[in-house]
Amino acid sequence: MPEYKLIYFDAMGRAELTRWIFKLADIPYTDERIPAEEWPERKKSTPGGTLPVLLVDEQVLRQSMAIARYVAREAGLVPQDNLESALCDALVETVMELQQQMIKIMRSPGDDEEKKTKLQQEFIPNQVEQFFTCLRERLHDREWYCGDQVTWADLAIGRVFCTLVSTQEPLFDKYPDIRSYVEKICALPGIQDWIQTRPETSF
C-alpha cells in the first residue's frame, strides 16, 4: 500500500470526505493540518497554490473531488458499474454544492442570529428540503444510495449532515427516514470513532 499524506488546513472543508473514506476503509494516512499563519509561505511551494493536496508516496494529487474519488476507488467504495458510479459522482457533487452554500452563508457578514435565520428560513426550506425529498424517493426501497453496500456517496451525505442530525435540527422531524439513514452512516465502523475524536473545528 502506498504512503498517503493528506494536506489541508485545520478544518473539515474540502478534505473531510477523504478523511471519512480513509477512516471507513481503515487505511492509514497522515492528516497534516497547516496552521493559517504558515499558509502564505507554504502556498509558494504548494502545487496549484490551493489545498487539499494528497501525496501518494511521491506523487502529488490535487483537487478535492479527484482526491476523494481516487481514495474511494482504492477503498472499494465506488461501484464497479459505470452508470452506478456516475450516479454516485452526481450525488457527491450535489452534496458538496449544498455544503459550499451552507459555508458561504456561515461566512457572510452579519451576526450569528442573522445567519441562523437565513439558514432556517431560506436555505433549509428551499435547498435542503428539496434535496431530502429526492433522496427519500431514491432510498425508499434501498439500504444505501447505490447498490447494496455503502459507497462514498453515502459518506458524502453523512459528512455534510451528521452535525445537523446530532444537534437535533427540527428539520429532521419531517424526514425521520433521512435521520435514520444519516445516523446509520455516522455509526459506521471507523466513522463513529472519527466523529468523536477528530479535532474540533467549525467548518
Burial of 189 (0-12, 13-18, 19+ CB in 10 A): exposed
In the 8-state DSSP scheme, what is residue 199?
P
Residues of the chain by 3-state class (helix, strand, coil), percent to 5: 60, 10, 30
Q: How far apart are CA 108 and CA 69, in angstroms?
A: 30
Q: How far is the CB of 95 from ligand GSH (least distance, A)?
A: 14
Min dist CB 141 to ligand GSH, Å, is: 33
**DSSP strand pairing (59-62 vs 4-9):** unpaired
Does 51 participate in binding ligand GSH (rule CB under 6 A)? yes
Closest separation in Å from C-beta 121 to ligand GSH: 27
Q: How far apart are CA 80 and CA 161, in angstroms?
A: 26
Is 117 a residue that touches ligand GSH (CB under 6 A)?
no
Task: State the minimum distance, in angstroms, from the CB of residue 52 to ligand GSH.
Answer: 6
| Single residue of 63, 101, 127, 192 touching ligand GSH by CB under 6 A | 63
* Residue number with CB closer to ligand GSH (64 or 165): 64
Is residue 13 near ligand GSH by the rule CB under 6 A? yes
Nearer to ligand GSH, 67 or 77 (CB): 67
Q: Which of 50, 130, 149, 180 binds ligand GSH (CB under 6 A)?
A: 50
Number of residues counted as binding ligand GSH (CB under 6 A): 10
Give me the residues paired with residue 4 across strands.
56
| Residue 43 lies near ligand GSH (rule: CB under 6 A) | yes
Three cell numbers written together for 92: 457527491
**Position 64 contacts ligand GSH (CB under 6 A):** yes
Q: Helix, strand, or coil here: 144?
A: coil
DSSP alpha helix (H) spans, 38-175 = 39-44, 64-74, 82-107, 112-118, 129-139, 152-166
Q: Contact between 99 and ligand GSH (CB under 6 A)?
A: no
**Smallest separation, CB 15 to ligand GSH (Å):** 8
